[in-house]
Amino acid sequence: SDVAEVDARVSVCRACPRLVSWRESVAVSGRRASFADQPYWGRPGPGFGDPHPRLLVVGLAPAANGTNRTGRMFTGDRSGDWIYAALHRAGYANQPTSVASGDGLELVGARIVAAVRCAPPANRPTPQERSTCGHWLDRDLGLVAPGVESMLALGAIGWDAALAAARRLGWQVPRPKPRFGHGAEVVLRTPEGRDVRLLGSYHVSQQNTFTGKLTEEMLDAVLARTKGA
C-alpha cells in the first residue's frame, strides 16, 4: 500500500452521510455563480504532493467551491493561494499558485492532507465526522512516518487530528494534550524512536488572512521551523 492507493480509496469514501449529501448537493446545484459552467469534483479530497515527504501539512477540510470543485487539496480558493505561496517561498513548491490539476504544481518534500476530507457545511465538521475521517489521516501518517520530519497543523482542528492520529499509531505524545496556538510546537516520537516536530499555525482561511490575524511573515516564520533549528 502507498499514498496513491490511499488517495484512490479516500476519494470514494461515503462514511459520513451529512458530508456526502453536502459535497454532492454543492456540486450539483450549489455551485458558485462564477463556477457555474464548471464540473465539480464533489467527492473527498485526496492528499497531494510528495509521496515521501519531510513535511506533512494537515489542514481542516475542503472548501465547498475549492477542493470540492477542483479535487485537489487547497486548490482554487483563497486559502490555497496563501498556503501554496508560502510553500513556494519556503522552497516546498515549484510555483506559488494552485489553480487546478494540470497546472504544473508540484510539491517537493511536502505533502498536504486534511483532518476531514469532505467539504462540511459552514466549514464545521462535527466531532463524529472528525473522528471518522481520522482513520484516513492514520493511513497517511503511517505511510509517511518513515521519513517525515515535521508536521504543520493549520488550525486547532488540524492540530487535534495530528495528535490523535499520532496517538493511535503508537507515537509518544505528551500528556496533558499540548495546546494549539500560532507557533505552538511539540516533539512527538515514533515507535521507531524518531522525533517528529508538530508545529501549529493559525489556519490560512480568509477570516484570519483578511483580518491580519495571520500575516505572511507569521506563516513564513512557522514554515521555516519545519526545516529544523
Residue 44 near which of ligand DU, ligand SF4, none (CB within 5-8 Å, type-dependent): ligand SF4
Taking the complex as a whole, the smallest distance from the CB of residue 117 to ligand SF4 amounts, in Å, to: 4
Scanning 16-24, 48-56, 63-71, 168-176 for contacts with ligand DU by CB under 6 A, the matching segment is 48-56
Taking the complex as a whole, the smallest distance from the CB of residue 221 to ligand SF4 amounts, in Å, to: 31
Q: At what angle do helices 216-224 and 78-89 cross, to 10 degrees?
A: 50
- Nearest-angstrom CA–CA distance, 224 and 1: 31
- Residue among 3, 10, 55, 152 that touches ligand SF4 (CB under 6 A): 10
The yes or no reply on residue 45 touching ligand DU (CB under 6 A) is: no
Q: Cα separations (Å) of 68 from 28, 60, 125?
A: 11, 13, 15
Q: At what angle do helices 127-144 and 155-168 cross, to 10 degrees?
A: 60
> 4 and 51 in contact (C-beta within 8 Å)?
yes
Alpha-helical runs (H) found in 177-215: 206-209
Contacts of 194 (CB under 8 A, 6+ apart): none
Scanning 20-28, 45-53, 56-64, 125-133 for contacts with ligand DU by CB under 6 A, the matching segment is 45-53
The yes or no reply on residue 103 touching ligand DU (CB under 6 A) is: no
Binders in 151-180 for ligand SF4, by CB under 6 A: none
Binders in 87-146 for ligand SF4, by CB under 6 A: 116-118, 129, 132-133, 136
Residue 143 near which of ligand SF4, ligand DU, none (CB within 5-8 Å, type-dependent): none
- Nearest-angstrom CA–CA distance, 183 and 157: 15
Q: Which residues make up the interface to ligand DU (CB under 6 A)? A: 4, 48-50, 101, 106-108
